[in-house]
Amino acid sequence: MKRYLCAGLAVLLSGCFMIGPDYVEPPVPTADDWIETADPSLRRDREELSAWWEVFGDPVLDELVETAYRQNKSLLVAAGRVVEAQARRGIAIGGLFPQIQNAIGSFSGAELSENRANQSQAFDSVYSDWQVGFDAAWEVDVWGRFRRGIEASDAELLAAVASYDDVLVSLIGEVAANYVQIRTLQQILFVTQANAMLQRRTYEIADAKFRNGLVTELDRAQAESLLRRTESLVPVTQAAIRQTQNTLCILLGMVPRDLSHLLGDGPATIPAAPAEVALGVPAQMLRRRPDVRQAEYELAAQSARIGIATADLLPAFSLAGTISLAAEDFSDLWTGDSFEGFGGPRVRWAILNYGRIRNNIRVEDARYQQQIAVYENTVLLAQQEAEDAIAGFLGSRSEVASLDDAVNASKRAVDLANLQYREGTVDYIRVLNAQQDLFAATERYVRAQGNLAFNVVGLYRALGGGWQIRAGDDFLPEEIRDQMRERTNWGGLLDSETQEADVEHAEEEGRRWQWNWLWPRW
């Protein structure tokens, strides 16, 4: 019998039970292919998207992305959350070891009343008590409460890393989008000024004809009205460029300033969109997108919290003890006769919890069910974003091709109208209409080029590319880690090797979640 009891105790102390449900990835609706997969410009082969912005072949954009990656403040906040998750993981791991480890020391002096009942003369009414020692208590992880906590912390660490990656993907997309916007506005400003110059020449012709009595004042007034309207768009466009540059400065982690030293002087061309885009298949895109990974890690962490709550239904086994030296006189404290100690096992079981524990388990399970819906919705929204970006890319490309022809036709119409107006064969209304059509077509063509580049940015962002550039880099720059070390003893937690090891260990444990059924189940 003794042998069986010892074996049972060994099983309990080994902590081989894992109470609560094991995480299983819920099925999510995933499309087999893209809606526009038949379009020849959409390839299904998987392309490396770690530096997707390089498809534009724009060195200025490359430099802006690199600067934002090194300096953006929102990205630094996300990096701080990764370090915080590392520290929280360390707290969870510490739960496996004795939870109470205290060095103790005390002194007390007492004087008892001589008039108390049953006070004997044999006892001193005045005495002192000195004590130094050590006490410890260890709740053994029989049911896997603390291991479930580590499992949750591992998932939370991976979720923090995925959140960092998601911020990085969004940051790169925002930098590229604002850069495209600046180049588009610069081109619109150039087109506006060019049209204003053309309209000024026409106004000068109309003014000369009016002064020579060849036309009425109406022609000159109409020409001046069109010219002034076009000129009024110049300061508005310049203000929009300045505002977009200010937004870009914040993304670069710097105070708003003139970015001519980065963007160059004068208008530059709008980044040219690639003729083809490699999409892969929707399932590959979902595995790559960090927001989808973050939602799944948060779901796995919540699954572990159900097990933590369930462990409260069962008894908690702990070992507690104290060893100390105690004496009335300090001079006797360090002698062998002053040694005392006690210890032994303890069982704690909340048997009358009035349903609180059961309802707490239900709370955690309800949160898990909510998180399932969050995860599924994240997957659906990811596919919608990708499909929207594909549709925008294809539509903008067709629009640019059509508007290119329209601009060429409008230029020819203006040339003919101006020639005929000089010769007096047509009135100014024909010239006015031709110039208005040219300005509208040219501006729309420029905006369509910008929209095409913008949709390429949105497409690569929806595919989840860009976060891979952090590979091999620390989440926080060295100067910030030095500041943190000066404030707080971080040990080796901020070291590159430690961070990499923690993340790799969490990923390894994550791959083992699906094997938890090997443990005894409750």
DSSP annotation string for 166-218: HHHHHHHHHHHHHHHHHHHHHHHHHHHHHHHHHHHHHHHHHHHHHHTTSS-HH
What does the pLDDT read at residue 495? 86
pLDDT over 90 at 63, yes or no = yes
Q: Which residue has the higher pLDDT, 62 or 261?
A: 62
Question: Can you tell me which residue has the tokens 């082969």?
Answer: 45
Share of the chain above pLDDT 70, in %: 90
Q: Identify the pLDDT of residue 315.
A: 92
**% of the chain surpassing 90 pLDDT:** 38
Angle at 59 between CA 53 and CA 64, to 5 degrees: 70
At 210-254, the pLDDT tens digits run 788 777 777 788 778 878 888 898 999 999 999 999 999 999 999
Q: Which domains does the chain have, with CATH numbers?
A: 15-99+142-314+358-518 (1.20.1600.10)
Q: What mean pLDDT do residues 509-513 have?
A: 63
Q: Which two tokens stand for residue 117?
A: 């009942």
pLDDT value at residue 186: 92
pLDDT band at 159 (very low <50, low <70, confident <90, very high): very high
Residue 456's pLDDT band, with cuts at 50, 70 and 90, is: very high
Element (H, E) at 340: strand 339-348
CA distances from 143 to 12, 301, 522 (A): 8, 18, 9
Q: What per-residue confidence (pLDDT) applies to 520?
A: 34
d(CA 455, CA 245): 20
Return the pLDDT at 375: 94
**276-290, 411-425, 463-477 — most confident range:** 463-477
pLDDT for the residue numbered 16:
58
Best-predicted range by mean pLDDT among 47-61, 356-370, 506-520?
A: 356-370
Query: Average pLDDT, stretch 55-65?
Result: 93
Beta bridge mates, 100: 137
| Helix, coil or strand: residue 490 | coil
Higher-confidence position of 438 and 512: 438
Categorize the per-residue pLDDT at 1 as very low, low, confident or very high, splitting at 50, 70 and 90.
Answer: very low
Pairing of strands 42-43, 277-278: parallel
Query: pLDDT of 215-226, one tens digit each?
Result: 777 778 877 887
